[in-house]
Structure 1
Amino acid sequence: MTGRRSQSGPTAFRWGFVAPRFWPTWLAIGLLHLFAFTGHRPRRAFAGLLARLYRRFNPRRVGIVRTNLALCFPEEPADVREEWVRRHLELHFLALVDLGRIRRARRGELTRQTDVANQPVLDRLRREPGLILTVHSVGLEWAAAMLAETVEGSTIYKPFADNPVIDWWFAGMRTRHGTQALPRERGMGPHLKALRGGRSFFYIADEDLGGGHGVFAPFFGVEKATLPLAGKLARAARCPVYPVIGQLDETTGRYRLRFLDPVELPASADREAATAINRVIEELVRDDPVQLMWSLKYFKTTPPGESERYRR
């Protein structure tokens, strides 16, 4: 018997999770918990090994990283972008290794281990809940867990295909401090209700969900399918929009939350609103481009008449 994905929340634990087909998953989870008790240097060394293996055995996904960087930063020399590819993959796997630290951390522990840029904005967020606009960065899970220690809120999650054990494990990490994690199929209604009720909404705004769910707007000068929803939600809930990105320092192993000042976004669902959202995301990313999760297909949906951007 395997776990069932609930329409009201993440997968619950079931005894079927101990079946032999899930043993490799449990082994990986065990390693993550083991690394939670080690220092930064062994975690970074292991992450570096994983990154090198990934580059060797997953050229298609590495090609997506290269394509995204070439589209967004054509002015940068090829050798600079290639160095960004290397750094990004090392940061990505270091953040994965750090998931065990997040899962076992006691309340307040992540806050003490996090540097905050623009602390007054975080202080305001704790007093005045709102829409926390963020992106798929390497520090995303850490940022969400750290904020959950002191900021009540909700978020959207996407189930992992065909592996309910991973669903269950991530659910425990994301909801252990009271965050309400709901599947995308539930829509925005529960999150709008939470915003109106004085809770925050941790909203990841950079994903390409297809042309049928958004409008095209420039992102680093490239037309990107964007969901222009953040301003509409904020207007409906009469709450601020707090842009933030979670970053990771590969040298020290410390995480950093970089807040921008709260912004006002158009409440329309058109190109103007989508462009405003993308400009905020660009400002978050330009500080240190390698922090964004460049392995995602941000430009998979193309305008009519334009060729596919990711070569198979």
Structure 2
Amino acid sequence: MERLKGALVVGSLRLFARLPWRVVQRLGATLGWLMWKLPNGSRTVASINLSKCFPELDAAAHQRLLRRSLMDIGRTLTESACAWIWPAQRSLDLVREVEGLEVLQAALASGKGVVGITSHLGNWEVLNHFYCAQCQPIIFYRPPKLKAVDELLRQQRVQLGNRVAASTKEGILSVIKEVRKGGAVGIPADPEPSLSSGFFVPFCATQALTSKFVPGMLKGGKALGVFLHALRLDDGSGYKVILEAAPEGMYSEDPQTAVAAMSGVIEKYVRAYPSQYMWSMKRFKKRPEGEKRWY
């Protein structure tokens, strides 16, 4: 049964990726509008997250942001389906603007290991191709449940000569070894870790359990961190990739200070592009002691 499900999903993705780009975007926006209009788990989670992270919004502003967010999530889903199937160059052609590329180039030329840091903001599948076109990193990821989909992603995400590492003990070790020998890796910094693997730090008017994995690799300047995000342009024509050097605080010997500094950068981008964050993700499942669960 799992094999059949996987084949159906992969086949659907291949058919979907044959559609014109504007149709892909319209279908994604429609999917998101339906998520906003009809009762469903994604709308519930997104609404809770937005109410906690932007408590200053009144009811009308909250609904406007919820609607925009779900429509952008729909676009991200359909656009990512294309990035999973298309040749990498076709996705790269959608990158219309790049800001801060010199930051990555300087980090790569330093001789130190480079940690590319991103989050679930914008389109991380297009970002993957962009980053891998600049160097040949190991991309750290959480495998999907369906084996056929995982195999597809492993194949598509290494089109440019890079490697991938699943979020297993072996994958973590391979990422650490790559950085120590002066190589490059790419890691999403916002998946919620276990309680022992992170700290609760400020994030958009709340506290978010945030991983100490990335700051741990940068500690004391052992490696260099570069933030990368691919943000959707307002006219829908493609993306703007923004790169920024990790702040000094992320190199702190104090791990909680470093994690808070990392969270601060992610918050800055989320506040600048609030509708492009994956608010339907249960990012805040674990809460500080004494606080009620959100979901």
TM-score bin (small chain):
0.7 to 0.9
Deviations 1:128-173 (A, max 9, x none): 4511111012311110122112221112221212x11111111122
Corresponding residue number in structure 1 for 2:78: 97
Deviations 1:44-102 (A, max 9, x none): 22112212333345522211111111111111233223222222222222222223442
The amino acid of 2:135's aligned partner reads: V
Corresponding residue number in structure 2 for 1:193: 177
Corresponding residue number in structure 2 for 1:177: 160
CA pair 99-234 structure 1, distance change in 2 beyond 3 A: same
User: Please, which of 122, 137, 145 is the counterpart of residue 121 of structure 2?
Assistant: 137
User: Please, which of 69, 72, 75 is the counterpart of residue 88 of structure 1?
Assistant: 69
CA distance in 2, matches of 1:50, 1:27: 19
Deviations 1:15-72 (A, max 9, x none): xx4x4x445314421233212xx142x2222112212333345522211111111111
Corresponding residue number in structure 2 for 1:228: 212
Corresponding residue number in structure 1 for 2:269: 284
Q: Secondary structure at the match of 1:48?
A: helix
CA distance in 2, matches of 1:107, 1:98: 13
Contact 1:195 / 1:237 at 8 angstroms: preserved in 2? no
Deviations 1:172-225 (A, max 9, x none): 221221222112112532112112333211111112123232121121231221
Q: Secondary structure at the match of 2:83?
A: helix
Deviations 1:245-280 (A, max 9, x none): 221125223111112234231454643222112111
* Mapping of residues 13-32 of structure 1, within 5 Å: 17=3, 19=4, 21-32=5-16
Corresponding residue number in structure 2 for 1:218: 202
Contact 1:51 / 1:89 at 8 angstroms: preserved in 2? yes
* Mapping of residues 1-312 of structure 1, within 5 Å: 17=3, 19=4, 21-35=5-19, 38-40=20-22, 42-57=23-38, 59-106=40-87, 108-114=89-95, 115-128=97-110, 130-161=114-145, 163-186=146-169, 188-235=172-219, 238-249=222-233, 251-264=235-248, 265-268=250-253, 270-310=255-295
Deviates more, 1:293-302 or 1:94-103: 94-103
Cα RMSD (Å) of the superposition?
A: 2.4
What TM-score do the two structures reach when normalised by structure 2?
0.88
CA distance in 2, matches of 1:104, 1:156: 19
Aligned residues: 290
Deviates more, 1:46-55 or 1:152-161: 46-55
CA pair 117-31 structure 1, distance change in 2 beyond 3 A: same
CA distance in 2, matches of 1:78, 1:121: 40
Contact 2:16 / 2:81 at 8 angstroms: preserved in 1? yes
CA distance in 1, matches of 2:221, 2:261: 19
The amino acid of 2:161's aligned partner reads: G
The amino acid of 1:307's aligned partner reads: K
Deviates more, 1:132-141 or 1:116-125: 116-125
How far 1:125 sits from its partner (Å)?
A: 4.3
CA distance in 1, matches of 2:128, 2:137: 10
Gaps of 5+ in 2: none
